[in-house]
Chain A
Amino acid sequence: MLFLAGGLELSPIKPDVGLLLWTAIAFIVFWYMMSKFAFGPIKDALKKRDLDIKTALDKAEEAKAQIGDLEAEHKALVAKTQEERAAILKEANDTKNSIIEEAKAKAKSETDRLLTNAKLEIENQKKKAITEVKNQVGMMAIEIAEKVIKKDLANDANQKSFVNQLVDDIKLN
Chain B
Amino acid sequence: MRKFLIINLLVILVACFQTSVMAQNHDHSGHNHSSHDGHSHAGHDHSSHAGHDHGSHAGHDHESHAGHDHAHDGHGAHHMVCGVESDHSFDIGATALHHIADANVFTIGPLHIPLPVILYSKDQGVNVFTTKKFHNATLAHHADGHIAHNGYVLHGGTIKRIDPTYKVNGQSFNSNADVDIKGYVWQPAPIYDKDGKDTGKTKETAFACDGKNLWKLENSSTADFGLFGGGFTSFIDFSLTKNVVSMLLICLLLFFVFRSVARAYAKREGKEPKGLQSLMEVFVVFIRDEVAIPFLGHKWEKYFGLLASIFFFIVGLNLFGQIPFFGNANVTGNLAVTAVIAIIAFIVTNINGNGHYWGHLLNPPGVPFFVKIILVPVELMGIFIKPITLMLRLFANIAAGHIVLVVFVGLIFVFGKEGTNIFGGYATGIGSVLLSLFMMAIELIVAFVQAFVFTLLTASYIGAATEEAHH
Contacts and interface: CB of A to CB of B under 8 A. Distances in A.
B87 to A, nearest CB: 12
A18 B344 contact: no
A100 interface: no
A97 to B, nearest CB: 68
B305 interface: yes
Interface string A6-27: 1111111111111111111011
A92 interface: no
A92 B281 CA distance: 72
A18 B236 contact: yes
Interface string B242-261: 01100110010011001101
B267 to A, nearest CB: 10
B251 A13 contact: no
A104 interface: no
A11 B97 contact: yes
B93 A22 contact: no
Given A10-B43, A15-B223, A34-B258, A46 B288 contact: yes
A30 to B, nearest CB: 5
A40 B340 contact: no
B47 interface: no
Contacts of A3: 97, 228-229
B214 to A, nearest CB: 15
A28 B269 CA distance: 29
Contact of A12 (B206, B304, B330): B330
Contact of B309 (A17, A18, A30, A41): A30
Contacts of A157: none
A172 interface: no
Contact of B204 (A6, A23, A37): A6
Interface stretch (B49-57, B331-339, B433-441): B331-339
Given A10-B158, A26-B248, A35-B306, A42 B258 contact: yes
B309 A5 contact: no
B254 A24 contact: no
Given A10-B43, A39-B309, A46 B238 contact: no
Contacts of A29: 251
Contacts of B156: 10
B305 A4 contact: no
Contacts of A24: 340, 344
B168 interface: no
B64 interface: no
Interface string B111-135: 0000000100000000000000000
Given A12-B100, A16-B336, A19-B334, A45 B266 contact: yes
A14 B237 contact: no
B interface, size bucket = 35 or more
Given A23-B340, A41-B266, A45-B265, A34 B255 contact: yes
Interface residues of A, number: 45
Nearest to B244: A22
A34 B97 contact: no
A11 B228 contact: yes
A28 B309 CA distance: 9
B207 to A, nearest CB: 12
B237 A17 contact: yes
Given A16-B237, A18-B220, A21-B238, A35 B339 contact: no
Nearest to A23: B340
A18 B238 contact: yes
Given A19-B337, A22-B247, A42-B261, A12 B43 contact: no
A42 B301 CA distance: 11
Interface string B11-45: 00000000000000000000000000000001100
B309 A19 contact: no
Contact of A42 (B118, B262, B333): B262
Contact of B258 (A19, A31, A39): A39
A29 B250 CA distance: 13
Contacts of A60: none
A6 B259 CA distance: 48
B388 interface: no
A33 B219 CA distance: 34
Which of A6, A31, A39 has the largest count of B CB atoms less than 10 A from its CB?
A: A39
A15 B269 CA distance: 45
Contacts of B247: 22-23, 26
B444 interface: no
A52 B97 contact: no
A6 to B, nearest CB: 4
Contacts of B399: 12
Contacts of A4: 228-229
A37 B255 CA distance: 8
A8 B97 contact: yes
A13 B160 CA distance: 18
A140 to B, nearest CB: 127
Q: Which 9 pairs between the two chains have the least Cβ-Cβ distance?
A: A35-B305, A7-B204, A38-B258, A15-B336, A45-B265, A14-B230, A14-B222, A6-B204, A23-B340
21 contacts: A9-B158, A12-B102, A12-B330, A14-B224, A14-B230, A15-B339, A17-B238, A19-B241, A22-B238, A22-B241, A22-B247, A27-B341, A28-B344, A34-B255, A37-B255, A37-B259, A41-B266, A42-B261, A46-B265, A46-B285, A52-B270
Given A17-B223, A45-B265, A52-B270, 14 more contacts: A3-B228, A3-B229, A5-B93, A7-B94, A8-B94, A9-B160, A12-B330, A17-B220, A18-B236, A19-B102, A19-B337, A23-B337, A43-B305, A46-B281
